Amino acid sequence: MTEQSVIFFDIDGTLLDHDKELPHATKEAIFQLKEAGHVVAIATGRAPFMFEDLRKELDIHTYVSYNGQFVVLNGKVLHTNPLNIPSLVKLTETALHNNHPVVFMDHKDMKANVPEHSYIKEGIDSLKIDRFPTHDPYYYKERELYQSLLFCKEGEEKQYEQEFHDFDFIRWHPVGVDILPKGGSKARGIQKIVDKLGFPPEHQYAFGDGLNDIEMLSTVQNSIAMGNAEDTVKEAAKFVTKSVEEDGIYHGLQMVGLL
C-alpha cells in the first residue's frame, strides 16, 4: 500500500447477510485492510448498543451510528446531533392517536411509548439483536435522543412528513421508519471523521445497500453499492459489487484496488 485510506461499511445487507451473519470472506477482508494500515469504520442506522458485538469481533472503534447523529472516533464521541424534543413529543401524540407506536433511542438504550405492539416486535425481531425496547413513555425527558422509530405501514408516514418539518423519515422495514433530525445523514457523520483525520476525497470509500445509504454513496468519492441493493441505491454509487451472499465486500475491495 502506498497511501492510507478510510473505508466506511454499512452493516445490514452489507457487512451482515440477510440472516444477520458475518460472511467469513468479509471478516477476512476487514482484517486485511487493517493489516495494510487502512482505517476501517462503520456507518449504520443502528444504535451503538445494537452492534457492540460486531465492533468487538472486527476490532473497530470508529463509527457513524444513528445515520450520522452519533459519531465516534477511536472510541471517543466526536459529534452528536440530537432530535428536537418538543417536536418529537407532538409527533408521538399524533402517532398514539393513530395507533402507531414510537421508540425513543439514545446512545445507551431504547424505550417504547406503549407497553407492546405487534409492529415493534416485527421490526425489532428482524434485526436479530439481543435487545428489545421496554416501556417508558417519558424516556425523552432530560436526555438527548439521536433517533426514534415510528412504526406504521408503507405510505402512512406521509402524514408525518407533511406535518413535522424538523425531521427526516427513512423507511427501513415494511412497518418501520427512522425519525432523524432534518438534514442528518451518514454522509454528514462521515464528513466529521474525514475532516478530523484529514483524508482527501480520493482516499475515502463507502459500501452500502439501503435507502439510508444513498446520500453517503452519492457523496463519498469511491462509493460501492452491494449487488443486493435496490436500483436507486446502485445509481447513487460509483461502483456496484456482488451481493453480500456472494462475498460482495471482498469482491468490491478487490475491484477498487484496496485488496
Q: Is the pLDDT of residue 227 over 80?
A: yes
When the pLDDT of each residue in the chain is averaged and rounded to a whole number, the result is: 96
Residues with a catalytic annotation lie at 10
Q: Please tell me whether residue 133 adopts helix, strand or coil conformation.
A: coil
Which residues, at least 6 apart from 87, have a Cβ–Cβ distance to it below 8 Å? 164, 166, 167
Which tens digits make up the pLDDT trace of 109-150? 999 999 999 999 999 999 888 899 999 999 999 899 999 999
- 28 and 146 housed in the same domain: no
Cα-to-chain-centroid distance, residue 189: 11
Cell numbers describing residue 92? 408521538
151 has pLDDT over 80 = yes
Q: pTM of this prediction?
A: 0.91
3-class secondary-structure state, position 252: helix
Same domain, 176 and 188: no
* pLDDT at residue 3 in the model: 87
In the predicted structure, residue 31 carries a pLDDT above the cut 60: yes
Q: What is the pLDDT of residues 63-116, one digit of tens each?
A: 999 999 999 999 999 999 999 999 999 999 999 999 999 999 999 999 999 999
Q: How many domains is the chain built from? A: 2
pLDDT at position 243 over 60: yes
Residue whose C-alpha is closest to residue 175's, from 132, 96, 117: 117
CATH of the domain at 73: 3.40.50.1000
Distance, CA of 65 to CA of 85 (rounded, Å):
19
For residue 181, the model assigns a pLDDT of: 97
CB 227 within 8 A of CB 211: no
Nearest to 201 by CA among 186, 217, 181, 219: 219
What is the spatial distance between Cα 227 and Cα 258, in angstroms, rounded to a whole number?
19
Q: What percent of the chain has pLDDT over 70?
A: 99
**pLDDT at position 128, please?**
87
Q: What is the pLDDT of residue 2?
A: 52
| Shared domain check, 72 and 10 | yes
Domain end: 181, 211, 229, which one?
181
Let me know if residue 1 belongs to a domain.
no
Checking if the pLDDT of 1 tops 80, the result is: no
Residues 71 and 12 in one domain: yes
Q: Measuring CA to CA, which residue among 135, 140, 85 is closest to residue 112?
A: 135
For residue 219, the enclosing domain spans: 6-80+184-255
